Amino acid sequence: MLRRDRWALAGAVTIAVLGLAAVAADLLTAIEGQDPYSYRTEALDPRTGGPAGALGGVSGEHWFGVEPLTGRDLFAIVVHGARTSFLIGLAATLVSVVLGTLVGAAAGYRGGWVDRVVTWTADVFLGFPYLIFMIALGAVVPGHVSRPLLLVLVIGFFGWPSIARIVRAQVLTLKKRNFVSAARILGASPWQVFRTELLPNLWAPIIVVATLSIPGNIGLEAALSFLGVGIPPPTPSWGRTISTAVDWVSTEPMFLFFPGIALFLATWAFTVFGDGLRDALDPKTDVRR
């Protein structure tokens, strides 16, 4: 069971802590007395523009130090960046799951030309250099378009093929079962069969693949922001903060450490939790860790 998997439990606890930090970002920064937008030039060294004091300016007023050149509070940037990353990662995964489940179920249940078209389209999408497309799209889309919404739609749209393949394989097996055949004989429509007979038996693999997709989507948002085509300033973003911190890593390594470790913990936690969840929902797997 899942509670016997110590790594999965550690991942679940880490997700809970980061999720709580994202939800309570305003409260946490209010307790600290800072926000992610105000410039604090008094916290900077006037000679170099870097944080004044040791460890990147870590102090009782600035728990993670401050951002070079601006003096913005790094703790506020990290916790508000968690909100940005989690919202985009979860929302993009939801889009992928909905599209992949509907398309995969249609392909597996209907078969024939529908299955061939879906399979061919999924193969094309899986081989398509979507990262280059996302970079190009982010560069040409007008500035008035909501960038978080654009990222959610684009990342979610390119994430459906892997989910559709898993759902299709499950439906191909389930549609041969007696309860599905009985529903069809009794005159149930394809939508009724999907909703009442197939979907309840698809939740386990859908939940697992969705959980394992979240860290990839969070990382993809961070990568796009790192390249300058993701979340625009001044909205906090782990990827853009890491991109800025690269120029300061030799003199202010703490500026890179905190957003970097936050991104690492988020992707690690969802990955190990998803692995544990997959093992727990697979009756053939005996978890002994």
Tens of pLDDT, residue by residue over 157-205, are 999 998 999 999 989 888 888 888 888 888 888 888 888 888 888 888 8
Question: What pLDDT does 2 receive?
Answer: 63
Determine the Cα–Cα distance for residues 109 and 113; give it in Å rounded to an integer: 12
Crossing angle for the helix pair 238-246 and 253-281, nearest 10 degrees?
A: 140
How far is residue 95 from each of residues 15, 24, 151, 202, 217, measured CA to CA in Å?
21, 25, 11, 17, 11
pLDDT digits (tens, 9 = 90+) for 218-232: 999 998 888 888 888
pLDDT digits (tens, 9 = 90+) for 52-75: 888 888 888 889 999 998 889 999
Cβ neighbours of residue 286 closer than 8 Å, sequence gap 6 or more: none
Contact between 12 and 274 (Cβ < 8 Å): no
CA 236-242-247 angle, to 5 degrees, is 125
Question: What pLDDT does 287 receive?
Answer: 42
Cα end-to-end distance, the chain, whole Å = 11
pLDDT digits (tens, 9 = 90+) for 195-221: 888 888 888 888 889 998 999 999 999
pLDDT category of residue 288 using cuts at 50, 70 and 90: very low
261 pLDDT more than 90: yes
Q: Where do we find the tokens 């693999």? A: 205
